[in-house]
Amino acid sequence: MTDDATTPRLGVLGGGVMGETVVSAALRAGWTFDDVRVVERSAVRANELSERYGVRAMDPAARVAGWADVVVVALKPHDVAGVLTEVSDSLRPGTLVVSVAAGLTCAQLEGPLPAGTPVVRVMPNTPAVIGRGASVVSAGTHAGEEHLALTERILAATGLVVRAPEKDLDAVTALSGSGPAYVFYLIDAMAEAGVLVGLTRDRARELAVATVEGAAAMVRETGEHPVVLRERVSSPGGTTVAGVRELDAQGVRAAVVAAVAAARDRSVELGAQGS
């Protein structure tokens, strides 16, 4: 680490959506633009990041890796092994490597790196881009409490950050990683239903989004079980009971459970293909 342990230097390999999310989160968490560098091969994208955040964004990967105390891997999975091999000799002892690359295990990440390199794997989801995400962090073989805590600090501005053993990450991928797509699917279905029963498309979408957002906030802020909250709006013989009964009849709950299980199984398959 640097002498100023409160702001370890941060090198981000990859300037795509997730790389930019990490940069933005770190700056909001107290890093300055002098503490952060990005490796982005597209000159247009690098200039965009430099103008938006004031960070250097076109240094070679090996130079950034040798400069940084924390290297964040925000690359497409198929690019990761090659880039880690490229930067391996430049890493200083004790440099933390944090990966937000989908599907790659800690063992796969550790393979090209110097022996003993601490690695933390992160499974984020897309709402992290707007600070409303859910990310799960898992420690590799050589990562300890201080590495997990530092990773949490970097990601704090992206939303919820929790810890889990790596064996749980296939389930995490299926639930929170893929989960936003399930919610988008539900919002779209609710909006279409609103149009079917007579609302304009714009008004139906507006109401569907606000309803999902408000319902999620109630679960979070009250701490009550969703079933309890559902029962409070389900008057005997009323409209909500009729709607929920139809959801049950159509097998919606079973379909959601099956979707998460299918996504988990596919995550396991993809991990096996990459091993």
Q: What is the pLDDT of residues 219-238, one digit of tens each?
A: 999 999 999 999 999 999 99
Q: Assess contact for 42 and 25: CB atoms under 8 A.
A: no
Domain contains 193: yes
Q: Is the pLDDT of residue 90 over 50?
A: yes
d(CA 26, CA 29): 5
Domain contains 3: no
Partners of 99 in beta bridges: 73, 121
Q: What is residue 115's predicted lDDT score, i.e. its pLDDT?
A: 96
Residues 50 and 106 in one domain: yes
Domain that holds residue 185: 177-271
Q: Is the pLDDT of residue 274 over 80?
A: no
Residues 206 and 80 in one domain: no
Residues 158 and 22 in one domain: yes
Token duo for residue 103: 């599907």
Q: What is residue 165's predicted lDDT score, i.e. its pLDDT?
A: 97
Q: Is the pLDDT of residue 4 over 50?
A: no
Residues 200 and 71 in one domain: no
Apex 158 CA angle, 179 and 111, nearest 5: 80
Asked which of 131, 164, 197 is the last residue of a domain, the reply is 164
Q: What is residue 275's predicted lDDT score, i.e. its pLDDT?
A: 59
Q: What is the pLDDT of residues 133-169, one digit of tens each?
A: 999 999 999 999 999 999 999 999 999 999 999 999 9
Label residue 273 by pLDDT band (50, 70, 90). Answer: confident
Q: To the nearest whole percent, how much of the chain has pLDDT over 90?
A: 91
Asked which of 99, 133, 164 is the last residue of a domain, the reply is 164
pTM reported for the whole predicted model: 0.88
Q: Assess contact for 61 and 39: CB atoms under 8 A.
A: yes
Sign (positive/negative) of CA torsion 110, 114, 118, 121?
Answer: negative
d(CA 275, CA 270): 9
Domain contains 241: yes
Query: Please, is 156 exposed, middle or buried when counting C-beta atoms within 10 Å of its C-beta (0-12, 13-18, 19+)?
Result: middle
CATH number at residue 183: 1.10.3730.10
Give the mean pLDDT of 211-224. Answer: 97
d(CA 261, CA 265): 6
Q: What is residue 229's predicted lDDT score, i.e. its pLDDT?
A: 96
d(CA 166, CA 48): 35
Q: What is the pLDDT of residues 100-135, one digit of tens each?
A: 988 899 999 999 999 999 999 999 999 999 999 999
Residues 81 and 181 in one domain: no
Query: Please, is 72 exposed, middle or buried when counting C-beta atoms within 10 Å of its C-beta (0-12, 13-18, 19+)?
Result: buried
Q: Assess contact for 253 and 226: CB atoms under 8 A.
A: no
